[in-house]
Amino acid sequence: MTHALELRGVVKTYGRRRALNGLDLCVPAGSVFGLVGSNGAGKTTCMAASVGLLRIDAGTIDLLEAGPFDPLRHTGRVALLPQDSHLPPHATAGELLRFYGQLQGLAPAELAGAVQDVLEWTNLVDRRDSRVRTLSHGMARRLTIAQAFLGRPELVLLDEPLSGLDPREVVRIRGLIRERRGRQTIVISSHNLHEIEALCDRVAFIEAGRLVEQNTLAEIVRRDHTITYTLQASALTAAALQPLAPALRCELTPDGTALVVAFDGTGATHAEVNARVLRCLLDAGVGITEVRCGSKLESQYMQATGERPRQEKP
């Protein structure tokens, strides 16, 4: 299987508004894929349409190379963490997960183990017998994450998975999602670009229901041929960077707090370029607070969607 999810020219309208306007998307199997876009860009609609919760007006959706969502073909193979949806309040966490497991066809022998796995995974074992209505917001959110990974489905769609979690749980769940890379395909929709950068190996920018850019994260942030320096406020001028030209292309932000150095086509390594640039900056008496491979996803997103970032911030 080469791709886990493929959308071609998908159109979805709500009344007069086009939520998806010919969206093309290809999610390779085994990737952790980030969907990035502004509010109303179509991320949630894309996910809901993929699992058949929304009916599309045009285009095609191919799920796990078995056509559009069909319960007969996809039950147990696809899971969704929907945004702004509430779990039934009266069932306990354990009862609910068992019910979902039964629905997705888990055999009785493996059901208890699968439920235990996801409860441990989300740190909810001690709340197995608690009713959903008695769980805190964060715990209920973790339970929704647990149901999405129940039975190890091949494709998991997570809509804003880490919102509402405390920092400790964010770190924990992030680590667990990373562990699944290569074993399951995970699509994450989030406004938090730091989260996407930390989790995903491929990213798509969506705006106004259309794909703006889709590539590996390394390509998008030009990780292989760009180094970004965060500088202390200084009077660094373009002239001071002259020794680096023409091999290296330097771009200094107007306020002088960030320097982006591109070295594609030079054949130089990160270490070689970094040595040259650092020497140049130190000779110019500039303080350096951060050095990172590539640009920030945030600035690439802003550029790709037509807005220039005001500055790179650490």
Partner 1 sequence: MTPSIAGVAIMARHELADAVRSRRALVLLTLYLVGSVAATAIFATLLKHIEVEVSAAVGLESAKQVGTVSSTLWKSKPFREMVIHLTGDRALGETLLQVPPVGLFYGWLSLTFAPLLVLMTAAGRMAEDIGDGSARFILFRSSRLDWCLGTFLGQAGQLLLALLLSALGAWVTGWWRLAGAFDAVATMQAMLWLAFKAWFYALAALGLALGVSQFFSSPHLATVVGFIVLVGLSVLAGLARHFSGDGLRRLWDLALLLTPGGHRLGVWHNDAAHLLPTMAYLVALAFVYLFAGYAYLARRDL
Residue number, 134 or 232, with CB nearest to partner 1: 134
Nearest alpha carbon to residue 75 among 150, 164, 143: 150
Q: Is residue 21 within the footprint of partner 1 (CB under 8 A)?
A: no
Site for partner 1 in 72-91 (CB under 8 A): 72, 74-76, 78-80, 82, 84-91
Comparing CB distances to partner 1, the nearer of 88 and 182 is 88
Among residues 97, 94, 98, 100, which one has the least CA distance to residue 128?
94
Q: Considering beta carbons, is residue 84 or 126 the nearer one to partner 1?
A: 84
Asked if 285 interacts with partner 1 (CB under 8 A), we say: no
Q: Compute the distance between CA of residue 108 and CA of residue 24 in angstroms, rounded to an integer.
A: 39
In DSSP terms, 7 is beta-bridged to: 25, 61
80: which residues sit within 8 A by CB, 6+ positions away?
47, 48, 51, 53, 148, 156, 157, 159
Task: Closer to partner 1 by CB, 157 or 204: give it.
Answer: 157
Residue 52 binds to partner 1 (criterion: CB under 8 A): yes
Considering the complex, state which of residue 60 and residue 75 has its C-beta at the smaller distance from partner 1: 75
User: What mask of x and - would describe binding to partner 1 in positions 228 to 257, judged by CB under 8 A?
Assistant: ------------------------------
> In 64-217, where do the E strands start and end?
78-81, 155-159, 185-189, 202-207, 210-216
Burial of 242 (0-12, 13-18, 19+ CB in 10 A): exposed
Peptide bond into 108 cis (omega under 30): no
Residues 126-185 that bind partner 1 (CB under 8 A): 131, 144, 147
Q: Which is nearer to partner 1, 21 or 257 (CB)?
A: 21
Provide the minimum distance between the beta carbon of 147 and partner 1 in the complex, in angstroms, as a whole number: 6
**Residue nearer to partner 1 on the CB measure, 90 or 310:** 90
Residue 223 is given by DSSP the state: T
* Min CB(74)–partner 1 separation in Å: 8
Nearest to 119 by CA among 88, 86, 97, 102: 97
Closest separation in Å from C-beta 15 to partner 1: 12
Of 157 and 170, which CB lies nearer to partner 1 in the complex structure?
157
> Which part of the chain contacts partner 1 (CB under 8 A), choosing from 29-37, 95-103, 211-219, 229-237?
95-103
Query: Going residue by residue from 32 to 51, which x/- string records binding to partner 1, judged by CB under 8 A?
Result: ----------------x--x
Would you count residue 102 as binding partner 1 (CB under 8 A)?
yes
Residue 58: left if φ>0, alpha if ψ -120 to 50, beta else—which one? beta
**Alpha-carbon distances of 90 from 85, 86, 93, 96, 135, rounded to whole Å:** 15, 11, 9, 9, 11
Q: How far is the CB of 122 from partner 1 (least distance, A)?
A: 15
Nearest to partner 1 of 12, 296 (CB atom): 12
Contacts of 76 (CB under 8 A, 6+ apart): 104, 105, 106, 151, 153
d(C-alpha 180, C-alpha 239), whole Å: 48
- Determine the size of the site formed for partner 1 (CB under 8 A): 33
Give the Cα separation of 25 and 35 in Å (integer).
Answer: 10
- Binding residues for partner 1 restricted to 53-72, rule: CB under 8 A: 53-55, 69, 71-72
Binding site for partner 1 (CB under 8 A): 48, 51-55, 69, 71-72, 74-76, 78-80, 82, 84-91, 95, 99-100, 102-104, 131, 144, 147
